């Protein structure tokens, strides 16, 4: 009987991530300069580590809220059906909003979420994504700020999971599947 297992090869180091988060925070701070309070909306669950590091570096008053959307479940491929599992607690109407996403892949989830939030009338709405996989894009969706552009690889770490595992890795790793006999 063949058993499928996997190994993880480091793709982006913790040090490179930390440096890029600082750069992104500087750009975001400059963009939203003068805002009364920036509402930072983290898309759960994959963005939780990224959002925590990012908001600590943003030099503005921030309010953090979370929205959970899913189009993957425990699968490796998007179902293209986006479900909102947890909505925001606060209001975004008339406010400056920054959506923080772990990875822009097909674009379905982010497109759905940004349309939902725009319908609620924010003053400004921008997106910051840690990772971008443009080769997989099926919906015309692009983040305002991107940490890293990556090839079409299945990745884990720094909050990103595979079947709820490996979120705690301090780096982004590429999953390499192996067949055990």
Whether residue 174 has pLDDT greater than 90: yes
| CATH assignment of the domain containing 65 | 3.40.50.2020
- How distant is the alpha carbon of residue 97 from its chain centre? 15
Q: What does the mean pLDDT of the chain come to?
A: 92
Q: What is the pLDDT of residue 81?
A: 76
Range of the domain at 34: 3-180
Rounded to whole angstroms, what are the CA distances from 43 to 13, 85, 86, 110, 131? 22, 11, 10, 9, 13
Residues involved in catalysis: 105
> What is the distance between the alpha carbons of residues 30 and 67, in angstroms, rounded to a whole number?
25
Calculate mean pLDDT across residues 137-162: 95
pTM, two decimals, is 0.90
Can you tell me the distance from the alpha carbon of 71 to that of 81, in angstroms, rounded to the nearest whole number?
A: 5
Q: Are strands 62-70 and 38-44 parallel, antiparallel or unpaired?
A: parallel
**For the chain, what is the domain count?**
1
User: Using 50, 70 and 90 to split pLDDT, how confident is the model at 179?
Assistant: confident
What whole-number distance in Å separates Cα of residue 2 and Cα of residue 146? 39
């Amino acid at each position: 009987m063949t058993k499928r297992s996997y190994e993880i090869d480091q793709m982006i180091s913790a040090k490179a991530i930390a440096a890029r988060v600082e750069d992104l925070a500087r750009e975001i701070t400059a963009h939203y300069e003068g805002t009364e309070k920036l509402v930072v909306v983290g898309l759960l669950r994959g963005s939780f580590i990224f959002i925590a590091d990012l908001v600590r570096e943003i030099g503005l008053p921030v309010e953090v809220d979370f929205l959970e959307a899913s189009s993957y479940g425990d699968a490796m491929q998007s179902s293209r059906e986006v479900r909102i599992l947890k909505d925001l607690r606060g209001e975004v109407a008339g406010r400056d909003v920054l959506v923080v996403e772990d990875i822009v892949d097909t674009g379905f989830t982010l497109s759905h979420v940004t349309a939902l939030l725009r319908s609620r009338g924010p003053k400004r709405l921008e997106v910051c994504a840690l990772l971008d996989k443009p080769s997989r894009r099926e919906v015309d969706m692009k983040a305002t700020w991107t940490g890293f552009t990556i090839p079409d690889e299945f990745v884990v770490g720094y909050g990103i999971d595979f079947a709820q595992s490996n979120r705690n890795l301090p780096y982004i790793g590429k999953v390499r599947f192996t067949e055990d006999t």
